[in-house]
Amino acid sequence: MILELVEQCSQGLVERRTLVEAIVLAAVAGEHVLVIGPPGTAKSEAARRVARGLGGRYFEYLLGKFSEPSELFGPVDLRKLKEGVLETATQGMLPEAEIAFLDEVFAGSTAILNSLLTLLNERVFRRGGTRLNCPLRVCIGASNALPEDESLAAFADRFLVRCFVEPVSDSLLESLLAGGRQAPAIQPCSLTDLDEVARRAKTVDLTPVVPLLANALRRLRREGLGLSDRRSVRVQNLIAAAAALAGRDQACPADLWPLVLAVPTASEQQMARQALHEVLAESDNPSLYRLAEEVSAGQKVRARRLIEAGQKLLAEHPDPLRVEGLLRDIDGHFAPDQLPPELTELRAQLKVRLP
């Protein structure tokens, strides 16, 4: 179900499949995503597609310095106010959303951000006489850049997953232009499917990887990349979600790759990949293989991606140029004596298709 959802939501979104996968991972883990990138890089489109695919109640808003709390949380209930009771009418607003996208998330006023702190962290909305338990699974916040204001640090820390996007590469501009004119057919699933995976994630046994995770966190500290205590603890939710999405009841070294997503900045994430190279080498995930490969640069998950691409190519009666391109990709990442058996077989099948 999850893999099919990712495929549908990624259709036509060039170089954004990893963002779709990150949102799905966070939704299963019950965590939030912060997407940093220039305007016009499909941040909101990826969020909307995942929201449609998951089928939950969706709330979206573009924050500005003049935004009022009522625009996100709902207006004061005037009927109750006449009775001397301050309550908020939350119907159709953020407190009742299951999936939310907040653009320019750091532009909100202090009043908005303070209310969001509690809502995001505790899933509770409080205002006057209103106290509402919120059904929010995941909130995606977007911004053109990370905030420099230290007063926003606590708020930014509520977004455990950090994704950084750039404009589409020059070599894929044709795909961008073609995909931009296609309206993807997304068949929404039920939030109960997501909740079932989330329930399995909560029961995943992390005992086997706790020592590995602790050592990885120590290594990051030695490199000057230490996570806050909150992030160090909550990253376990991402690891458990990765294991559940891989169909495992017990986490293993292949599930540690989400640790990199919790590192706050793009440059620090790159440093973390290098520092944790040995830990990340075992990374693998059948449902989120593009994200796992990008995060870890691990050979196991890279082989999975190449096999998947090769099988699709063989089923399409492909152009020889595409076959040559995939063969170059395989040979560029694997020495002949390091090819996994499945990839060796696939390579031989692809060679046969060449003139």
Same domain, 213 and 309: no
Say what the pLDDT of residue 315 is.
83
Q: Could you say which DSSP state residue 315 is in? A: T
Domain range for 52 is: 2-179
pLDDT for the residue 174: 66
Q: Are residues 119 and 39 in the same domain?
A: yes
pLDDT for 343: 82
Domains held by the chain: number: 3
CA distance linking residue 195 with residue 77, whole number of Å: 32
- The neighbouring-strand residues paired with 102 are 61, 141
- Predicted confidence at residue 215, as pLDDT, reads 96
Instruction: With respect to residue 348, please indicate whether it lies within any of the assigned structural domains.
Output: yes
pLDDT at 210: 97
- CB half-sphere exposure, 2, CA atoms < 13 A: 27
SS3 136: coil
Kindly state whether residue 324 falls inside one of the protein's structural domains: yes
pLDDT score for 320 = 80
Q: Are residues 101 and 241 in the same domain?
A: no
Looking at the structure, tell me whether residues 138 and 241 fall in a common domain: no
Pull the structure tokens for residue 289: 């293989």
Report which of 61, 54, 60 is spatially closest to residue 28, judged by C-alpha positions: 54
Q: Which residues of 37-57 are buried (b: 16+ CB within 10 A; e: fewer)?
A: beeebbbbbbbbbbbbbbbbe
269 and 344 fall within a common domain = no
**Dmax (CA) of the chain:** 82
Contact by Cβ (8 Å): 188, 55: yes
Query: Do both 163 and 216 map to the same domain?
Result: no
Is residue 246 situated within a structural domain?
Answer: yes
pLDDT tens, residue by residue, 105-114:
999 898 899 8
Residue 181 is predicted with a pLDDT of: 62
Which pLDDT belongs to residue 337? 78
Backbone φ and ψ for 330, nearest 5 degrees, come out as -65, -50
pTM of the model: 0.86
219 and 97 housed in the same domain? no
- E strand intervals along 1-72: 33-36, 58-62
Residues 226 and 105 in one domain: no
Same domain flag for 16 and 107: yes
What does the pLDDT read at residue 171? 58
Low-confidence ranges of the chain (pLDDT < 70): 78, 80-85, 129, 171-176, 179-185, 188, 318
3-state secondary structure of 68: coil
Contact yes or no for 225/275 (Cβ under 8 A) = yes
Within a domain: 282: no
In this prediction, residue 65 carries a pLDDT of 86
- Position 238 in a domain: yes
